[in-house]
């Protein structure tokens, strides 16, 4: 179930701020009417020219509008004018009956997890719900996917594995003793972080637990992988770095003044979002260590999720907004407004940004 929702945008101090009005819908309708009008003018002009020719009038009295002869001509002339503006909300998907907690994409399918204990699968082209996966007995907190297997972590302390073609549950992994908050994959290993303060490593072929990483002194909230290193963020305010081969802890990054909620690695830089309302950027040095190089400030509440596309960083927050940042200049580019509760998750596909929220909706934005 979905409905189209267009938004106007206003520019204040080089920051695009979305406002949820009907203006954009009206503008697009006006553009459509303009093109229809021009096409009808062309048709009427052709009719009159035909009548004039029958009356053998001088060719100088004829009116030529061949440039408006076909819809494709109108598209060439007014294409840029007709395009939906950047950062416009283009659709809202509804189906979950409680907070949306996580999103992941594979080909033309979007997978969403929720407090309603389900995973819903959506067609990204038609925006229709394809299927609902049921099995978890508590909140679906995290999702990750590889090939034809979907992995889901839950407040019921389990990780469930699903076949993405048949939508059948393949296996259930048990080992954590509290909520599972995050999942990530590397080669034939699945990494899971939990409120039990551990990271567990699982063999994706045998489904057996390989090892348990201990070091954090509070909930493990997020994981990121880069080359042979695993990065974990925690409620203990630290980011820990682990060797994926030896399972040894390599380093601890300190800087955030509240829990580390989300991590993403891109082009030798680690981005971390926190309960201190900031995003910190850490760069790899010549000694292969990480140093903090910048702090992005703008959100007024916890930064819950991050995603990257080209030279833009997208961040979601409990302040109900999505902010867009230039990864080179570290400047804020835009603010997307529309959700009426916490923004909990983000993912990108084909120049579209998908955002999940505690308002139970998934919104789609042109980026």
**Per-residue pLDDT at 71:** 58
**Where a domain ends, among 82, 109, 134?**
82
pLDDT at site 25: 59
User: φ, ψ for residue 321 (rounded to 5)?
Assistant: -115, 160
- Residue 116: predicted pLDDT: 98
Residues 33 and 114 in one domain: no
Q: Which domain holds residue 28?
A: 22-82
Asked, for residue 297, whether it belongs to a domain, the answer is yes
Nearest-angstrom CA–CA distance, 22 and 277? 31
**Is residue 319 classed exposed, middle or buried when 0-12, 13-18 and 19+ CB atoms within 10 A define those classes?**
buried
Q: What is the pLDDT of residue 63?
A: 60
Q: In the predicted model, what is the mean pLDDT of the chain?
A: 87
Give the C-alpha separation, 341 to 327, whole Å: 26
- The confidence score (pLDDT) of residue 76 equals 59
DSSP 59: G
**Torsion on CA atoms 356, 360, 365, 367, rounded to nearest 10:** -10
Same domain as 76, residue 196: no
- Which residues of the chain fall short of a pLDDT of 50? 1-23
Instruction: Copy the structure tokens of residue 105.
Output: 């994409």
- Domain assignment of residue 14, yes or no: no
Q: Are residues 152 and 34 in the same domain?
A: no
pLDDT given for residue 81 in this prediction: 56
* CATH code, domain carrying 157: 2.130.10.10
Residues 73 and 47 in one domain: yes
Q: Does 255 fall in a domain?
A: yes
Asked whether residue 155 falls in the same domain as residue 67, the answer is no
Q: 129 and 210 share a domain?
A: yes
- Number of domains within the chain: 2
* One domain, residues 239 and 112: yes
**pTM, rounded to two decimals:** 0.81
């Amino acid at each position: 179930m979905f409905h189209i929702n267009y938004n106007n945008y206003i520019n204040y101090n080089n920051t695009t701020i979305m406002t949820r009005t009907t203006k954009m819908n009206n503008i697009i309708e006006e553009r459509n009417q303009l093109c229809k009008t021009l096409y009808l003018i062309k048709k009427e002009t052709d009719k009159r020219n035909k009548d004039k020719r029958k009356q053998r009038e001088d060719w100088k009295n004829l009116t030529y509008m061949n440039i408006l002869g076909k819809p494709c001509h109108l598209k060439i002339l007014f294409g840029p004018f007709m395009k939906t503006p950047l950062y416009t909300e283009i659709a809202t998907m509804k189906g979950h009956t409680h907070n949306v907690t996580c999103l992941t994409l594979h080909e033309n399918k979007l997978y969403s997890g929720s407090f309603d204990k389900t995973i819903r699968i959506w067609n990204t082209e038609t925006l229709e719900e394809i299927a609902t996966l049921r099995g978890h007995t508590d909140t679906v907190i995290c999702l990750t996917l590889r090939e034809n297997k979907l992995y889901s972590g839950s407040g019921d302390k389990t990780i469930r594995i699903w076949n993405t073609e048949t939508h059948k549950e393949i296996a259930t992994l048990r080992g954590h003793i509290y909520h599972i908050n995050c999942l990530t994959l590397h080669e034939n290993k699945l990494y899971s972080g939990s409120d039990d303060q551990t990271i567990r490593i699982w063999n994706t072929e045998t489904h057996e637990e390989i090892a348990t990483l201990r070091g954090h002194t509070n909930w493990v909230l997020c994981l990121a992988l880069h080359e042979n290193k695993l990065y974990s963020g925690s409620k203990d305010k630290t980011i820990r770095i682990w060797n994926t081969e030896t399972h040894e802890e390599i380093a601890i990054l300190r800087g955030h003044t509240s829990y580390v909620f989300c991590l993403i690695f891109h082009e030798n830089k680690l981005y971390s979002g926190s309960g201190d309302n900031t995003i910190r950027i850490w760069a790899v040095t010549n000694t292969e260590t990480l140093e903090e190089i910048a702090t992005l400030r703008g959100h007024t509440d916890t930064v819950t999720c991050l995603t990257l596309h080209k030279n833009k960083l997208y961040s979601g927050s409990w302040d109900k907004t999505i902010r867009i940042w230039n990864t080179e200049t570290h400047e804020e580019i835009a603010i997307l407004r529309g959700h009426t509760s916490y923004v909990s998750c983000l993912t990108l596909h084909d120049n579209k940004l998908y955002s999940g929220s505690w308002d139970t909706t998934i919104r789609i934005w042109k980026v």
